[in-house]
Amino acid sequence: MLEYLMLGEFVVAVLMGCAALSAFVWAAASGALSDVESAKHQVLAVEAEEDERSRP
């Protein structure tokens, strides 16, 4: 009985690893990881604009 439970945990772990690897490969192939610095600068610019609007 214990062997079947360990086998099930192993299968789930392998499937989760394959899902994570697939997500990484998809993100790399679609260009989602190509320019992460521009996203940071866009967020900072939007926050600065919101701060300027909230000040009287």
Please tell me the pTM assigned to this model: 0.60
Under DSSP, is residue 35 helix (H, G, I), strand (E, B) or coil?
Answer: coil
| pLDDT given for residue 30 in this prediction | 94
Q: Which residues contact 27 (CB under 8 A, 6 or more apart)?
A: 33
From CA 17, how far away is CA 15, in angstroms rounded?
A: 5
Domain-by-domain residue ranges, the chain?
2-54
Q: Tens digits of per-residue pLDDT, 1-36?
A: 668 789 889 999 999 999 999 999 999 999 888 887
| pLDDT given for residue 3 in this prediction | 80
52 and 46 Cβ atoms separated by less than 8 Å: no
| pLDDT given for residue 17 in this prediction | 98
Q: Tens digits of per-residue pLDDT, 38-54?
A: 888 999 999 989 888 88
